[in-house]
Structure 1
Amino acid sequence: MSQGDRFASLRIPDYRKLWWGGMFVFLATQSQQIARGWLAFELTGSNTALGGVVFGFGVSSLIAIPAGGVLADRVPKRTILLVAQGAIMLAGLAIAVAIATDTVAYWMLVAAGAVQGAGMSLLGPARLAMTADLVDRESLTNAIFLSNGSIQMTRVIGPAIAGALIGVATIGVGGVYFIGAGLSTLSLFFTVGLPRGEPTRRSHRSPIGDMADGVAYVRRRPELQRLLVVSLLVVMLGFPHVTFLPAMIEEIFELDAWALGLLTTSAAMGAVGSSFLLANSPRDRLPSLQARAGVLFGLTLLGFAVSPWFWLAVAVMLLVGATSSAFQALNNSLVLTIADVEYHGRVQSLIMLSFSGFGLAALPMGTLADAYGIRETMAGMALLVLASMTISFAWHRRIARPEPVAL
């Protein structure tokens, strides 16, 4: 792959199918996420309830993620992708029907979030492990950034369209859910055309034994362990800010759904820009870029938390989206370039535990927001991200320090 070719992996036909399948299913989930948050706040008027919707996502992910990693190393990856995308489609369709029949309730949003959380937990490890199957190791960073770029593009398109359509009386929240179900169905069409993605080896151990083997593998590699822990801390403590954007719009800026769509679109535009800008980053620069992205994410999130005007918040959110996306993609690239191929599924499942932590942390953070204020809570998230990066730097120095020579 030439150094200047940012889109090289998309010339591989099977990778291109995987890319489009991911584009459609993530577009569905991003649009429904906006609709779910808006509907939850409309039904309850509570930040705690907003956190509760994400909490359901987190609990199911915590259970499903270890299984997803083991399955990605044991079962054909295409099968896992089809099952996961099918579950996401059915969950969205169920909420759409409930809204259309005027029977929707808050608990249904929590349940649908839990199903989609389980689906995403199966999807993530299998999709990344399939990526490693479809491209060579030198092209892996490029393929990961292109995949991440497709996800971030859905964060531009999905929230913008959902925010606009929610305000259209003839479409509304229910229409957004129906559209999401249709997009999930399109993702199945592309996934069916992928190769089966057979595991590289046949395990004769139990699934629990395979997972334990994956954890032991990480424990033997200090740098891999550090990257997984810092991912857990930064994602768990910083990424829940997206959950509370509806509250920021209504409580702080006193605006409507269009403003929520604009704010989330700004974050996603930053994320798309950073994803494609870094798509051809040389492997030897990944560690320094990851460190800078993590620190800048904390600083820009702090800036967003204290922004006094909506349009300034929109501008700062562009940087929040760029830095958070860059940190996530760079960390994933570092992990997969370090890990052996036969462990990719299980290692990726450990990365995705971060998003379970994100879901679990959202509920107490929502409670804190109700008690002390949404701005104060977001500022606290930013400071925790900066503290997490400080821990990462100290850990890296300790790993890199040469052992004293025995006399």
Structure 2
Amino acid sequence: MIPPKSALLLPQAGPGGALAANLLAFGRLLRRAGLPVGPTEMLAGAEALTAVEIGDRAQLHAALRATMVHRHEHFFLFDQAFGLFWRDPEAGRHAAAMALMEGVTEPAKPKPADRRLAEAMQGDRPKPPKPPEEPPEDRVDMTFTVSERERLQSMDFEAMSAAELAAAKREISKLVLPLDARPTRRFRTDTGGPMADMRATTRKSLRTGGEILDIARRRRVVRPPPLVALCDISGSMARYAQILIHFLHAIANDRDRVHTFLFGTRLTNVTRQLRHRDAEVAFEAVAKAVPDWSGGTRIGDSLDLFNRLWSRRVLGQGAVVLLITDGLDREGARGLSEATDRLQKSCRRLIWLNPLLRYAAFQPKSQGIRAMLPHVDEFRPVHNLTSLRDLVSVLSDPRAGRMRSAA
């Protein structure tokens, strides 16, 4: 038999009975938790329940997951929601009692999706009434008044609080990066294309005994070039790297051919981890793959390793490279000039993003910055949302090519 209903389950309602009402409430819970569950999934789930044994919990779980979940990365969140919603109301109290008997006092570390699921479950509970508010005073102070959104755009990432960082990450997720499209060597069939396709025309004429009745046409395929990001995650860049990875995750899920590498004392390819659409799962995978977060900096060795192992794989077809670092190298710029020069010659544009440019009195005094600066095409700041929006505009300009630009 199916376990007794918990307090979250709806009472008897409508001709469909309690099961239909419970299924509707379960679908709303999944939608609040972030899963794309709509009327189509709800109807498919209801139909699937007619083909399984309702009293078998395993069959109920398999039927609902097969019809209401379409992506593999959503399975974990669905399983957690199913276990919490269709549960025995006494199970939680029994589990707590057994934990006390076994001496378990510290809770396990929550998975990435647990927080969102907990917030979705809280949506079913009535909110406590708010205390009566006192009437506001008739006092208006317009001193230093500024829009909160405008202030967030110009605020330095390093000076943001946790709430402001969360708001900045939401703004970053909305950025679209339409890189200027470039012609490739490939062609595609197009009835209105500017070029005649004689091979396709001859092949079509065989159907009419060699007589040409129509001329096939084609058009050159146009694609945005690959984008390669090399991001410094050393101690001096840790705060900026955390939020810039959100920017790279948004780009990687918006377009194809985006490659991301993180480096501190070693180089790590995190392209596959950032392709996960769920941001929390992607960042947890990145944290597991990167062993040298907030450590030292070996920019020259990292760029040299990238040039030897990865440049031929990812820098083809006019790739654009974003080099995100403050240029402070622990090795004293050993081999840094040669590695940066080779990287610049292997791509179409090398853009150096440096948060130190936020200072108006910035001077390239360190050895690493002086070694790298002659070999980059553009030198730009990256310290707030405005600088990221300016970067998007620059990358989207089809007229931009190799050019030197300082702060």
Q: TM-score, normalised by structure 1?
A: 0.27
Greater relative contact order (CA < 8 Å, ≥ 6 in sequence)? 1
Q: Which has more strand, going by share of residues?
A: 2
Q: TM-score, normalised by structure 2?
A: 0.27
Q: Which has more helix, going by share of residues?
A: 1
